[in-house]
Structure 1
Amino acid sequence: MFLNHHAVAQPPPRDLLEALSARRVVDTAIGGTDTSNQPQVHLIAEVKRASPSKGLLAPHFDPVALARIYAMHGATAISVLTEPHFFLGSLQHLRAIKEVVSIPVLRKDFIVDEYQVYEARAWGADAILLICAILNDEQLKRLLHVAHDQGMHCLVEVHSAEEAQRAVAAGAQIIGVNSRDLVTFRMNP
């Protein structure tokens, strides 16, 4: 398989789970406080040009500059929209960002097929987003397995307690909660 060859040729993925679990060191000499014993916040910053609910968000969009700013200001990882129709994303954005930051880069798209997992890895993704609401249990389990075989972690997006249970049962290690209804695009508090 052509994509699998390119996926294997990539450097090893940066570990998203490790990055999200790491303790952050705070420089108390420049006015920070020692937070070594406090809960830590890890931010996955998103590079997104447009959204179905808000339309064009950034007419003068420079994904690489934005990613550099996120990384410089402490983002743990960067989520890159690659879906071209609704979000105006691209795989080229993912590759360009991967080349300029040292933190994990996640492909955010509507991933429903193994091909897209290999494609993500071939373009340099360290991790992928899997949306529980658009996958059945068998698909979710299979895509988690394929990503794991490629050395990638998955952020599994859930919208309810039921979906969270499905994600855990499928073997998800990283779960994100999305409060937006995917049908109406309304926020659920």
Structure 2
Amino acid sequence: MAGTLRNEGRPPAQPGTAPGVALVRPPARSFTETLTTARREGRAALIVDVKCRSPRDGELIPDAGLENYVRELLDAGVDALATVTEPVYFGGSLGTARRIRALSGVPLMRKEFFTSVGQIDESHALGFDAVHLTLRTIGDIGLVTEMQARAVALGIEPVIGVHTHEEAEQAVALGARVVGLNNRDIRALELDEGTVSHSESVTALLPPEILVISESGLHTPEDVARAAQAGADAVLIGTAVAKNPHPAAFLRALEGAAWRR
């Protein structure tokens, strides 16, 4: 199934290009420093995934409401944002990413089914501060290594996305500074029932110098608290925020739960 996730209908990006989108590069914001600061403060950083739709829930953020939604997240004090630029399953686009970047002063991570090093150049040109390189969708450690090196050279953080114990070990071998630990199998396109218990089990395998993001399958303040107590340095949560009728109040509850007890 992983072969069906590789940017259907889109040619690989060429270095330095962002098709249909003017190139921008605002000052870099340190994704890693944001997570490190939260760790020093004794809490998990809150990263909201601005996801326009999901395979499970359909449309999450109407296009006309995108700017207001992002402003609400920023006003609530989120530490960082992420967005999926994949169009077929998640309704993302480079244009949407550019709109988010124009509004946001916090670090922004790109999620995508990456297939080429050129997409790292593209991400840098669009103003992303981090790229999420998922081992099981890229499927080639050599290519991951090239993408990782290019991201570092450009000054953006390569977040190595893992799901299994074996992938966590691969991330360590790659010298990852930040690991995104997905509680679900991304190849199932959010249709499996991942829970925070997966983070509780895998986080313990990673050395303490690696910053860990617990991703997906987080729905409640209790989930965030469990991830933080398990040692996650950040939580990535998207659908639960977008579906909540009062996202700002919900985010405040999540922020309160993110402090380690």
- The answer to whether the aligner puts 1:169 opposite 2:173 as a matched pair is yes
Match of 1:46 in 2: 49
Instruction: Give TM-score scaled by structure 2 length.
Output: 0.61
- The answer to whether the aligner puts 1:3 opposite 2:16 as a matched pair is yes
Tell me how many residue pairs correspond in the alignment.
Answer: 177
- The counterpart of 1:98, out of the listed 98, 101, 110, is 101
- Cα 1:50–1:23 change in 2 (3 A) is closer
Deviations 1:94-142 (A, max 9, x none): 2222122211011111112111111111111111111111232211111
Once residues 63 and 96 of structure 1 are traced to their aligned partners in structure 2, the CA distance between those partners, rounded to angstroms, is 8
- The answer to whether the aligner puts 1:187 opposite 2:193 as a matched pair is yes
- Cα 1:2–1:179 change in 2 (3 A) is closer
Task: Output the aligned Cα RMSD.
Answer: 2.6
Q: Following TM superposition, by how much is the alpha carbon of 1:2 offset from its aligned partner in structure 2, in angstroms? A: 6.3
Q: Following TM superposition, by how much is the alpha carbon of 1:13 offset from its aligned partner in structure 2, in angstroms? A: 1.8
Once residues 51 and 23 of structure 1 are traced to their aligned partners in structure 2, the CA distance between those partners, rounded to angstroms, is 28
Instruction: Give TM-score scaled by structure 1 length.
Output: 0.82
Q: Is the CA contact (8 Å cut-off) linking 1:45 and 1:75 kept in structure 2? A: yes
Match of 2:73 in 1: 70
The unaligned stretches of length 5 or more in structure 1 are 25-35
Q: Following TM superposition, by how much is the alpha carbon of 1:16 offset from its aligned partner in structure 2, in angstroms? A: 0.2
Q: Following TM superposition, by how much is the alpha carbon of 1:54 offset from its aligned partner in structure 2, in angstroms? A: 2.4
Match of 1:32 in 2: none
Q: Is the CA contact (8 Å cut-off) linking 1:94 and 1:124 kept in structure 2? A: no
Q: Is the CA contact (8 Å cut-off) linking 2:24 and 2:126 kept in structure 1? A: no
By relative contact order (CA 8 Å, sep 6+), the higher-ranking structure is: 2
Where do 4+ consecutive residues of structure 1 move more than 4 Å?
none
Deviations 1:25-82 (A, max 9, x none): xxxxxxxxxxx8x621201101111112322223465332222222221211100111
Name the SS for the 2:184 alignment partner.
coil
Q: Give runs of aligned pairs for residues 28-47 of structure 1, distance below 5 A.
A: 39-47=42-50
